[in-house]
Amino acid sequence: MRTTAKLEADQWVINGAKQWVSSATGWGGKGADLICVVCRTDPTAPPDKAISVVAVEGPADGIVLERALESVGHRAHLTPRFKIVGVRARKDNIIGGPGAGLQLVEGAFTGTAALVGVFGAALMRAAFDFALNFARTERRGGAVPIIEHQAVGYALADAKTAIEATRALSWRACAALDAQAPGAFELSLQAKIFGSETAVRVITDLMRVVGIDSYDHQLPLAGLLQDALAYPLFDGGNMGVRRRQLHGLLMGEGYDPLTAFGAA
């Protein structure tokens, strides 16, 4: 966290840089109507006390768009890299008070973790529908549709099983969040990790069922895979953030492995 905010009289002065913040610069590059900037407001405090969230009302002077990142998938989604140079916000625009940033960010990302599992299930279902119809109708030079071959049938069966497992876990995580159950955070992390990585694997497996034609954007599978590739990486990458959070839960004093079982 290298972006800082320093209080000068009745204003926060923010300096730093950000990237991968959805639509933060606005389509005109001058800043969105409202940006919630996670920044360090106390350089001497420990992380759980040093980070705050400051709301910046736009357009704001000092938002400098460097470039729109060229993403593999989600091509209609604006993901900018930009600098924050002397951007000013009112003193009372701090959300939750000074030092509340880490808790706010964690709370905001808990619910979205479960939704990533839902996104993964949706992409897999779209890919499965196409691959199933393809297998039922294509003979590829043989006497029968390829679904009658054992290898194809097993691949489709495994894909459908993985889809239903992802769907059930994500549904349960969302229900636990709605109920504010004790195990909701753990279930959300599991839904994010499992759903995102399963989506990449299953869509890739279904592309093997279809064959080389699936690599052509005239068919939907390549585009579905491009979008799925983001899920293990965004909203807190699985390796750098989500697994670390889950690891932290497992190491926590008093952790009960049965809590999540009764969460929903």
Sheet architecture: strand order including 94-95: 63-68, 80-90, 11-19, 4-8, 34-40, 51-57, 94-95
Catalytic residue status for 216 = no
Contact 82, 19 (CB under 8 A): yes
Residue carrying the six token digits 């357009």: 59
* Distances from the Cα of 42 to the Cα of 18, 47, 102, angstroms: 19, 9, 13
> Which among 45, 47, 50, 54 has a CA at the least distance from the CA of 14?
54
Token duo for residue 127: 């890919």
- Amino acid, res. 183: G
Contact 232, 242 (CB under 8 A): no
Catalytic residue among 33, 42, 235, 256: 235
Bridge partner residues of 7 (DSSP): 12
In the numeric block, which tokens belong to residue 30?
């001058």
Query: Which residues are identified as catalytic?
Result: 235
